[in-house]
């Protein structure tokens, strides 16, 4: 089993409380949800979430995903996991406050 991660704000996460799936704020613009491997999380937090509080880190079991997961090159040629569809909450193993 592989675990990947998604960072989101508590405020955005709460908008999905009543649903069995989740979509990131940029999902409809980009058509995928940005995810990270364990070694990428620190860099993502540093680049995109510096100075922010009330963040959550979703721990996601890749074997439980119902949407297509692809690893694609980012601007620095690093491969990042992208989920092409909604994130089914049944794949979330843990929600960690940061």
Instruction: State whether the Cα torsion 36-54-91-85 is positive or negative.
Output: negative
Distance CA 25, CA 47 (A): 17
- For residues 73-93, give the mean pLDDT: 94
> Token match 């922010």: residue?
52
Instruction: Tell me the domain boundaries of the chain.
Output: 3-97
Helices (H), the chain: 10-14, 27-30, 41-48
Q: What is the reported pTM?
A: 0.94
Q: Which CATH architecture has domain 3-97?
A: Alpha-Beta Barrel (3.20)
Q: Tokens 């940005």 correspond to what residue?
A: 34
Query: At which residue do the structure tokens 């680049």 appear?
Result: 47
Q: What is residue 76's predicted lDDT score, i.e. its pLDDT?
A: 81
| pLDDT tens sequence across 20-51 | 999 999 999 999 999 999 999 999 999 999 99
Which residue, chain included where needed, has tokens 């937090």?
45
């Amino acid at each position: 089993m592989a675990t990947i991660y998604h960072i989101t704000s508590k405020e955005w996460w709460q908008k999905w409380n009543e649903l069995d799936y989740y979509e990131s704020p940029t999902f409809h613009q980009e058509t995928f949800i940005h995810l990270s491997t364990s070694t990428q999380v620190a860099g993502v937090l540093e680049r995109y979430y510096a100075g922010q509080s009330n963040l959550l880190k979703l721990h996601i079991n890749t074997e439980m995903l119902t949407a297509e997961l692809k690893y694609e090159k980012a601007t620095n040629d690093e491969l990042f996991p992208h989920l092409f569809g909604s994130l089914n909450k049944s794949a979330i193993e843990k929600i960690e406050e940061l």
